[in-house]
Structure 1
């Protein structure tokens, strides 16, 4: 029990140390390499912030319309019982 508790504490400390070592500087290209090509049809290359922001299509807005009154389901002609299979 004590070994697993010590192992859990050590693992937690390691995870905390790894989580706190991330960089916060803006992205820059590696020295000696050029920037990626400009996308077809774009006037200029997108910035790192533009590339990190998801588009509306990638992250659509939610429809929060609430159901205000219950309604009977319409008849579904495709809701058929399964076919019985001979054994």
Structure 2
């Protein structure tokens, strides 16, 4: 598998009481990009997905990022973007 530079490495099963996946902000490749509403690339091992930041919550150990997984495979998002850019070329 290619070594993609995703926004966040996550555990897709790591949900808290909110029902969202969570990870600490300091684990992000570029923490300044992690803001509510941002769409991110996510990876767990070899599995890739898209997610959207729900909120940032201060915690004793750092800032928690809550993420909602977006539907569909990451390749579907890439194909849609390629179609869009081909129409505007």
Structure 1 length as normaliser, TM-score?
Answer: 0.22
**Larger Rg, first or second structure (1 or 2):** 1
Q: TM-score, normalized by length of structure 2?
A: 0.21
Higher relative contact order (CA 8 A, sep 6+): 2
Q: Which structure shows the higher strand fraction?
A: 2
